[in-house]
Structure 1
Amino acid sequence: MVWRPCFLDLALVPSSLLISLAYHIWLWRKIRTAPLSTIIGINSAGRRRWVAAIMEDNDKKNILAVQTIRNAIMGSTLMATTSILLCCGLGAVISSTYSVKKSLSESIYGAHGEFMVGLKYAALLAIFIFAFLCYSLSVRFINQANFLLNVPTGLFAGDPSSLVLSPGYVSDLLEKGFVLNTVGNRLFYAALPLLLWIFGPSLVFLTSITMVPILYNLDVSASTDWKGGQNGVGVEEKTFV
């Protein structure tokens, strides 16, 4: 059996993607079963309490709410702009003659053909397009929550339609926005190994196995204050995820 350069790509790239996918499936199950043991779950519970506190004392905290939501929208807008700019750049590279592969073909392992080079850039383009979509939807949901956050809950007392203005409904909208923002961030993280795929499949695998422990330390909380409600602190274990 003759060894071909593409064998290394076929072995290492899918393995690295499976490692990342397996970690995020584990993280999703962790958030569903024990949300307060993760940073994402703690932040979600904190945001729900923040919404309830803002809507309870809206007259005094409405400016704080607007400024906080504005900062979140600006962050999502910046990342969405970055994503679409990267998409434009990758689109220009894909439509070129792939002359960039000539300078790399002698210095990296793996396949060097035009199809493989096009596949690498197309995978990056798809990642950034989905990231842009997530960030755009995040801005949409956070904007909706921004309008409803400053509506007094008792404004239409006795009207059944006022149920949609409850803190729970506004919290759900806000959580959808932040979940989509988190998904967009994770897509950006996934783009890093694919970006290094241009220089060879070995870097993809090494980057993926390095990112997993880093993300684990960023995602899992070691604090016990939230779990047991120590020092009078207790948080409802409810998240949108």
Structure 2
Amino acid sequence: MHDAIAPAGPGDFDAGITSTPGSTRPEELSFHVAGDYHPPNGTLLGFWLYLMSDCLVFACLFATYGVVGRRYAAGPSGADLFDLPLVALNTTFLLLSSITYGFAMLEMQNNQVRRTMSWLTVTGLLGAAFIGVELFEFGHFIHDGAGPQRSAFLSSFFALVGTHGLHVTFGIVWLITLMTQLRQHGLIPANKRRLMCLSMFWHFLDVVWIGVFTFVYLMGVLP
């Protein structure tokens, strides 16, 4: 019969380990990363996924407007309500804000905190001007009896344009919050990452508004 094999003790395992030049010692092995760990580009990927979901929201609103946008219920049409010069001015405000945000990103790459915040301030003011004109337009429509309950056309119009306006409003709040963080902490990597996310969000709103301006306002004034 074979001799019984005695169970190995902890020291036997240590004795059987040989180290080679450049190898990691057993006590240096670690399977837990202490502290916060942020995957490279993880935030940007997640934010792209959010923007894709937002695209679906606006796609549904555009589709709804496309179906019921000509159902006026004997009420006013887009040709009766829309003031194209005012809408063109509002479009200019939003497009210029996208350009000024681009200047802010250039200054961020140069690590110029004050100049970055200056361009962000201009961007926020242009965004606020856009919201102000849009609220004036909505108030004028409602004062003339063309509220969202008047017809399917107006319901879909207020839903689409109002949802875009809410996004711009949230973007301005986000911008103010980010400027506060820049003032307190400067252009740290986390703030640069947040600026990149807000940049994608702001330019996304510009693209959506170009679709609104073309599909709703320009086509709305056609007979």
* TM-score for both structures, normalised by structure 1: 0.37
- Where relative contact order (Cα < 8 A, 6+ residues apart) is larger, the structure is 1
